[in-house]
Amino acid sequence: MTTLPPIIEALREAKAIAVLTGAGVSKESGIPTFRDAMEGLWAKYDPAELATPEAFARDPEKVSRWYDERRVRCSAARPNPGHRALADLQAWCGERGKSFTLITQNIDRLHQAAGSHDVIELHGTIWVWRCTLCGDEQEERGGPFERYPPLCACGGFRRPAVVWFGEMLPEQALRRAFDTAEASDLFFSIGTSGLVTPAADLIHIAARRGARTAEINMEPTSITGLTDWAIHAPAGEALPRLAAALV
């Protein structure tokens, strides 16, 4: 769909731009999306079944091993042109006195690695592991853990500081995300299936407040048809085209 010119126009007119990203944005960095079949060793596991507190309570070894494999895989990943274009867009907005807020569901911190700042992380991060007993949090950037689950100095099991199904989102991040959606006049949903709430509610909140909305995704999703514009293409191609058209 050739909707680039109207979106460019909308970006030029907007004063408060909000962007929600999902796993599709990191796909071109080699990180499988949440709903992709996991490869190799993990192909037999359903991510939706492992990403729960119940799964960790039942089998902490399996769940922590799965997350640690993903953490190690993330350390080899680099930001792709889509991540970089969003960082450029933030800079472009800054130069023009527009507000720009990036809200991500991704746990890989590739947006920050690309230069985006003040990113709202709705689902936490795989780089920080938290003790389930004393709450101590440590950033983990090294190689694979020596045992699963990894242990805290207090003897408690450590888990990734991500948000599992049925868990509350970090309060401050969620509040900022709702405030951002409400205040935005242009809202982008990029590389997300829009199946998981409350993240999926944000675009509707923005639209109800009068924001114009756009989707960038490989394929149609549950919000296609509800947005003002839709681009069905890889984010790593569509976003650089969009950023280049602005300058």
Contact positions toward ligand BJW, by CB under 6 A? 22-24, 27-28, 33-35, 51, 105, 107, 123, 162-169, 191-193, 195-198, 217-219, 221, 234-236
Residue 234 binds what, of Zn ion, ligand BJW, none (CB under 5 to 8 Å, by partner type)? ligand BJW
CB 136, min distance to Zn ion, A? 5
Tell the smallest beta-carbon distance from residue 135 to ligand BJW (Å).
Answer: 19
Question: Residue 113: what are its φ and ψ, rounded to 5°?
Answer: -65, -25
Nearest CA to 190 out of 158, 237, 157, 155 is that of: 237
Cα-Cα-Cα-Cα dihedral sign, residues 219, 222, 224, 230: negative
Give, in degrees to the nearest 5, the angle at Cα 177 between 23 and 115. Answer: 60
- How buried is 241 (Cβ within 10 angstroms: 0-12 exposed, 13-18 middle, 19+ buried)? middle
What is the Cα–Cα distance from 102 to 90, expressed in whole angstroms?
A: 8
Catalytic pick from 111, 117, 123, 204?
123
Q: Which is nearer to ligand BJW, 174 or 186 (CB)?
A: 174
Q: Which stretch binds Zn ion (CB under 5 A): 41-49, 132-140, 183-191, 205-213?
A: 132-140
- The reply to whether 137 sits near Zn ion by the rule CB under 5 A is no
Strand partners, 159: 130
Question: Closer CB to ligand BJW, residue 99 or residue 164?
Answer: 164
Q: Specify whether the CB–CB gap between 84 and 115 falls below 8 A.
A: yes
Residues 151-180 that bind Zn ion (CB under 5 A): 152, 154, 156
Residue 134, contacted partner among Zn ion, ligand BJW, none, CB below 5-8 A by kind: Zn ion
* Nearest distance in Å: CB 246, ligand BJW: 20
Contact 123, 106 (CB under 8 A): yes
Q: By CB under 5 A, which span of 57-65, 147-155, 167-175, 176-184 interacts with Zn ion?
A: 147-155
Q: Which does 85 bind (CB under 5 to 8 A by kind): ligand BJW, Zn ion, none?
A: none
Annotated catalytic residue 123: yes
Residue 196 binding: pick among ligand BJW, Zn ion, none (C-beta 5-8 Å cut-off by kind):
ligand BJW
Beta strands in 105-150 (DSSP E): 120-121, 124-131, 137-139
Query: Among 185, 180, 197, which residue's Cα sits nearest to residue 11?
Result: 185
| DSSP single-letter state for residue 149 | S
Q: Is residue 131 close enough to count as binding Zn ion by CB under 5 A?
A: yes
The contact set with Zn ion (CB under 5 A) reads 131, 133-134, 136, 152, 154, 156
Please identify every residue annotated as catalytic: 123
